[in-house]
Amino acid sequence: MAKEECISQRNKTAGDTSALRNRKVFPSSEKTPSSPLSKGTHSQTAGHHSEDDAQSSNGTSAQCSTRGNNSEEPPSRVLLMLVVGLSFSTRLYKIADPPHVCWDETHFGKMGSYYINRTFFFDVHPPLGKMLIGLAGYMTGYDGTFPFVKPGDKYEHHNYWGMRGFCAVLGSCLPVFAYLIVLELSQSHTAALITATLLIFDTGSITISQYILLDPILMFFIMAAVLSMVKFNQQRYRPFSATWWLWLVLTGVSLAGALGVKFVGLFVILLVGLNTVWDLWRLLGDLSLSLVDITKHLLARVVGLILLPLLLYITIFAIHFVVLNKSGPGDGFFSSAFQSRLIGNNLHNASMPEYLAYGSTITVKNLRIAGGYLHSHWHLYPEGVGAKQQQVTAYLHKDYNNLWLVQRHGENECEKRGILLRKTTRNLHTHLHEAPLTKKHFQVTGYGINGTGDINDLWQVEVCGGQKGDLVKVLRSKVRFLHRATGCVLYSSGKTLPKWGWEQVEVTCSPYLKETPSSQWNIEDHINPKLPNISLSVLKPHFLEILLESHIVMIRGNSGLKPKDNEMNSKPWHWPINYQGLRFSGVNDTDYRVYLLGNPVVWWINLASLGLYVIMVAVASVALQRGFSLGQKRIGMVIDCDSNDSHVLMREGGQLFLGWLLHYAPFYTMGRVLYYHHYFPAMLFNSMLTGITLDVLLKSADLLLRRPYSDWLQRVGLMVLLFSVLYSFYLFHPLSYGMTGPLAHEAGSAMAGLKWMDSWEF
């Protein structure tokens, strides 16, 4: 434990006490059995309040009572062991049930298998989570042969429990981390205990940890990052010590992990970033530090929190690309050069005619990253969208409809000039109609029958950077197609067409002739029986190019996950009120049903204390600004320490509140389809905030009551809270551990009477 290290260090460097003060101090609270001091006793330390400058300017003494914060006390150990034990047992209980594929296991299990089989695939999330799942499966004897076709498929003899167990173990760490974070922030075992209880007995957190999903892995890294950040903050009085470096590096590693699992990890990076900026600002204001020291601090953070995570993140991708070396379902999303790396792809060690010729059958790929193949199909543009001719689009997958035939127009032309003819025997055509989405461009259609068309079917091939008469090299030449009649250039706008265009990408003819990758194409497949095939050693793409390319593909994929029209999707405001859960498994009476839904008591307590927190902070800050002391009644006690409550509330609570906000508010601006489980990281922060808020609230009981009664009130309040959480867990535990029999609204169900909201579907 870090604290032990601190203490041993303190012994070594005895004498330097001014720099070694315990950061957080509290009026003794009898509640916590760990306090060895009776009330009113305070050992004085001459700690300077560099962090509390606003406070000490109040005119009161900056001295404080320090509670012997001895972490070797047995109760704290016992509490921690208890939290660990309960957390692991609740998460690992019935881990193998149900023995079939649940919900998104069908995706992530499948992708885990891809790693074991080394098949290349495409997913909208970065690879770390799936890699770890694959690794866990590999280590526990899963051979990657289960197809994960759809939810409900029986696993039978396959070793799926290893992957689930791995996720559950990571999920079990969450309450433990939360406990440690809150303990570190508030130095109050009560607060930490409240947080841990809320999380351990939340059915939602249990359910989401028990299956092969990315969320437990993601949340593990998020919480690890926050924990290391908090520990690192605590080391601020011992800069550049070994522990300081340790926590800094651990923060960086966890950040890389969080981002490597899902892009949601960006929010925690933002949180840590803001914290770091604030910290640097504090250092900058410390005039006792020279500029050189500050530069050292800055550089250390740049290395630990930017360069190291970046390096790790890139490494993750490097491993991803090295491991997945076989052609698979994700090929078409990537450029021709990329595909040539994959064993089994038709471009791997390709051999085809080297120069484009008339009469060849080709596929044409847009050079914009993830640009897709020039494509056309039998469907026409709908009424009201330009001329009602055949659609021409860009399509990301390999398809027979991507093939085009190059024809010559007239015999006396010396340049390469041709009509591109599709296999459905329509000519590539454009005319002065607005394109469907990009109104500034012209519409591109398929026109004519069996190659007879009109003057608008003529396209001039131009090699970028080449001269007139240069031959067009397959794969290696960047080519533009200039329309002869209008002078526009074939262009892929990157915008997704509506339903009538099968959600493929729009292709237009742009009158703006600037050379951009959107208007450049390359010839990918090339079939011409008259020409000899030459083996092509295609230029291998640079790793950074692959990295960039895969990111753009991922981001586009993410924003492409639009909600379908007739599907009701979850709205962000549903989440904190626990409005509606997710069905993990089973629909009907006879099925084994698991329903992802937070323990309503826990969630509503969280929601209430969020409001309470805002009110308390408002009251406390107005009071501070106006110069009231909240502890006027307790003038006998040390005033400064008393307002520590409000400091914990405002500063440490503020960090958690910011964390909650950062993990929740951005979802309101997202256009993509949202699910209930997106709220879980925010819920973790909310629970930690609840711990701190309720703890401070209980402690301020003595503003109302005299001494012994207020302590009783505190104790009773805590007990009521813990028991209500426990009892509600007893009521709702079938949500996580499986329900069978009739649905909740029917009599005779195990969950009868528990359908408190109509929107719950169990």
Q: Which residues bind other proteins (CB under 8 A)?
A: 59, 281, 284-285, 287, 291, 434, 437-440, 512, 514, 565-566, 568, 580, 622, 625-627, 635, 639, 669, 671, 758-759, 761
3-state secondary structure at position 129: helix
Nearer to other proteins, 59 or 529 (CB): 59
Q: How far is the CB of 436 from other proteins (least distance, A)?
A: 9
Residue 735 to residue 662: CA distance in whole angstroms:
29
Q: Which two tokens stand for residue 306?
A: 């930017």
Residue 139 to residue 163: CA distance in whole angstroms:
9
Residue 226 to residue 275: CA distance in whole angstroms:
10
Task: Phi first, then psi: give them for residue 457, nearest 5 degrees.
Answer: -95, 5
Give, for 505, the enclosing helix (H) or strand (E): strand 505-510
Peptide bond into 511 cis (omega under 30): no
Q: How far is the CB of 60 from other proteins (least distance, A)?
A: 8
Q: How far is the CB of 224 from other proteins (least distance, A)?
A: 31
Q: How far is the CB of 517 from other proteins (least distance, A)?
A: 18
What does DSSP assign to residue 651? I
Q: How far is the CB of 430 from other proteins (least distance, A)?
A: 17
Give, for 92, the enclosing helix (H) or strand (E): helix 74-92
- The closest of 101, 110, 113, 100 to 144, measured between CA atoms, is 113
Q: How far is the CB of 2 from other proteins (least distance, A)?
A: 30
Q: How far is the CB of 434 from other proteins (least distance, A)?
A: 8
Nearer to other proteins, 278 or 727 (CB): 278
Q: How far is the CB of 745 from other proteins (least distance, A)?
A: 8
Nearer to other proteins, 44 or 559 (CB): 559
Nearer to other proteins, 154 or 388 (CB): 388
Nearer to other proteins, 145 or 669 (CB): 669
Nearer to other proteins, 311 or 665 (CB): 665
**CB-based contacts of 345, cutoff 8 Å, min separation 6:** 327, 331, 339
Nearer to other proteins, 360 or 438 (CB): 438
Q: How far is the CB of 559 from other proteins (least distance, A)?
A: 11
Nearer to other proteins, 287 or 322 (CB): 287
SS percent in the chain: helix, strand, coil, step 5:
45, 15, 40
Cβ atoms < 10 Å from Cβ of 128: 27
Nearer to other proteins, 635 or 705 (CB): 635
Nearer to other proteins, 150 or 626 (CB): 626
Nearer to other proteins, 224 or 597 (CB): 597
Q: How far is the CB of 635 from other proteins (least distance, A)?
A: 6
Nearer to other proteins, 668 or 712 (CB): 668
Residue whose entry in the numeric block shows the structure tokens 């490097």: 318
Q: Which two tokens stand for residue 592?
A: 């084994």
Residue 318 to residue 373: CA distance in whole angstroms:
27
Q: How far is the CB of 537 from other proteins (least distance, A)?
A: 39
**Partners of residue 405 on adjacent β-strands:** 361, 421
Q: How far is the CB of 627 from other proteins (least distance, A)?
A: 5
CA angle 86, 90, 91 (to 5 degrees): 120
Q: Which two tokens stand for residue 19?
A: 């720099």
**CB-based contacts of 278, cutoff 8 Å, min separation 6:** none
Q: How far is the CB of 440 from other proteins (least distance, A)?
A: 6
**CB-based contacts of 72, cutoff 8 Å, min separation 6:** 4
Q: How far is the CB of 374 from other proteins (least distance, A)?
A: 22
Region of 131 on the Ramachandran plot (φ > 0 left; ψ -120 to 50 alpha; else beta): alpha
3-state secondary structure at position 529: coil
Q: How far is the CB of 669 from other proteins (least distance, A)?
A: 5
Q: How far is the CB of 759 from other proteins (least distance, A)?
A: 5
Q: Which two tokens stand for residue 483?
A: 């329309």
3-state secondary structure at position 641: helix
Q: How far is the CB of 59 from other proteins (least distance, A)?
A: 5
DSSP strands (E only) in 330-441: 351-352, 361-366, 373-380, 390-395, 403-408, 417-422, 427-434
Residue 690 to residue 181: CA distance in whole angstroms:
13
- Cα torsion angle, 90, 91, 94, 100, sign: positive
Amino acid at 674: L
Cβ atoms < 10 Å from Cβ of 694: 23
Distances (CA, A) of 72 to 39, 220, 607, 662: 21, 26, 35, 35
Nearer to other proteins, 281 or 730 (CB): 281
Nearer to other proteins, 616 or 656 (CB): 616
Are 486 and 430 in contact by the 8 Å Cβ rule? The answer is yes
Task: Phi first, then psi: give them for residue 546, nearest 5 degrees.
Answer: -60, -45
Nearer to other proteins, 153 or 434 (CB): 434
Residue 215 to residue 257: CA distance in whole angstroms:
12
CA angle 269, 274, 279 (to 5 degrees): 125
Residue whose entry in the numeric block shows the structure tokens 């009773």: 716
Q: How many CA atoms lie within 13 A of 49 on its CB side?
A: 19
Nearer to other proteins, 540 or 571 (CB): 571
3-state secondary structure at position 586: coil
What does DSSP assign to residue 483? E
**CB-based contacts of 146, cutoff 8 Å, min separation 6:** 109, 113, 155, 158, 160
Nearer to other proteins, 102 or 385 (CB): 385
Q: How far is the CB of 736 from other proteins (least distance, A)?
A: 21
Nearer to other proteins, 410 or 627 (CB): 627
Q: How many CA atoms lie within 13 A of 159 on its CB side?
A: 14
